[in-house]
Chain A
Amino acid sequence: MVELISMAAKYVLVVIIYVFIYKIVQLIYTDIRMLMGRDSVAALLPHLKLMTPMGTKGAQSIAEIYPILRPESLIGRSKKCLIILPDPYVSSEHVRIDKVGDKFFVEDLESANGTLLNGKKLERRIELKDGDKVSLGRIDLVFSEGGR
Chain B
Amino acid sequence: MGMKAKTGTSLYTHFWGPLHLVALTILVLFGQLTLMGSPIDFIPLIMGASLLLLIYFVGWVIRFNRLGDPYLWTIVAMLISLGQAMQYRLSPVNGVKQFNWILIGVLVYLMVYVLYATLHGRFRSVFFHYGLLIALFAITLIFGTEINGARNWLKLGGHTFQPSELGKIVFVFFMAACVTTPERLRVKWSGREIDPKFVMMGLVYVLMGFFAIQREFGTAMLIFGVYLTFIYVFERDILFTVYNLGLVSVLGFVAFKTVSHIEVRVDTWLDPWIDIGGTGYQITQSLFAIGSGGFFGSGLGMGYPKFIPAVRTDFIFAAICEELGILGGIAVIMLFFILLYRGMKLALRIEDRYMKAVAFGLTMTIGYQTFIIIGGVIKLIPLTGITLPFLSYGGSSMVSSFATLGLLQALSGQILRKEAAQLETGYNQ
Contacts and interface: CB of A to CB of B under 8 A. Distances in A.
Direct contact of A and B (CB under 8 A): yes
Interface in B1-56: 1-7, 9-11, 14, 17-18, 21-22, 24-25, 28-29, 31-32, 35-36
A44 B24 CA distance: 32
Nearest to B428: A84
B334 interface: yes
A20 B3 contact: no
A16 interface: yes
A19 B299 CA distance: 19
Contact of B10 (A10, A28, A44): A44
A11 B296 contact: yes
A67 B302 CA distance: 57
Contact of B3 (A5, A82, A147): A147
B325 A30 contact: no
B108 to A, nearest CB: 24
Contacts of B327: 14, 17-18
Given A2-B35, A6-B301, A145 B5 contact: yes
Interface in B346-394: 349
B29 A21 contact: no
B154 interface: no
B427 interface: yes
A106 interface: no
A6 B5 contact: no
Contacts of B14: 27
B63 to A, nearest CB: 14
Contacts of B58: none
A99 B74 CA distance: 35
A14 B331 CA distance: 8
By size class, the interface of chain A is: 35 or more
Nearest to B338: A24
The secondary structure that dominates the B interface is helix
Given A2-B35, A27-B71, A20 B25 contact: yes
A82 B423 CA distance: 11
A19 B328 CA distance: 12
Contact of A14 (B7, B36, B328): B328
A30 B427 CA distance: 24
Contacts of B148: none
B426 A66 contact: yes
B423 A83 contact: no
A9 B14 CA distance: 27
Contacts of B341: 28
Interface string A98-139: 000000000000000000000000000000000000000000
Interface residues of B, number: 55
B5 A146 contact: yes
A21 B334 CA distance: 8
Contacts of A145: 5
A70 to B, nearest CB: 8
A7 B323 CA distance: 11
Nearest to A63: B427
B22 A7 contact: no
B300 A6 contact: yes
A12 B334 contact: no
A83 B425 CA distance: 10
A16 B24 contact: yes
Contact of A17 (B25, B349, B419, B427): B25
A12 to B, nearest CB: 6
Contacts of B3: 30, 44, 147
A82 B148 CA distance: 66
B106 to A, nearest CB: 20
A23 B375 CA distance: 27
A115 to B, nearest CB: 20
Chain B CB count within 10 A is highest, among A6, A60, A66, for: A6
Contacts of A61: 427
B37 to A, nearest CB: 10
B324 interface: yes
A10 B324 contact: yes
B32 A9 contact: yes
A10 B11 contact: no
A19 B5 contact: no
Given A14-B324, A14-B328, A44-B10, A6 B428 contact: no
Interface of B: 1-7, 9-11, 14, 17-18, 21-22, 24-25, 28-29, 31-32, 35-36, 71, 74-75, 78, 82, 296-302, 323-325, 327-328, 331, 334-335, 338, 341-342, 345, 349, 419, 423-424, 426-429
24 contacts: A6-B32, A9-B32, A10-B298, A13-B28, A13-B300, A13-B328, A14-B328, A16-B24, A17-B331, A20-B18, A20-B22, A20-B25, A20-B78, A25-B338, A28-B71, A28-B338, A30-B1, A35-B349, A60-B429, A66-B426, A66-B427, A79-B429, A82-B426, A147-B5
Which 9 pairs, one residue from A and one from B, show the smallest C-beta to C-beta distance? A6-B299, A63-B427, A20-B21, A10-B299, A147-B5, A146-B5, A17-B331, A84-B428, A14-B327
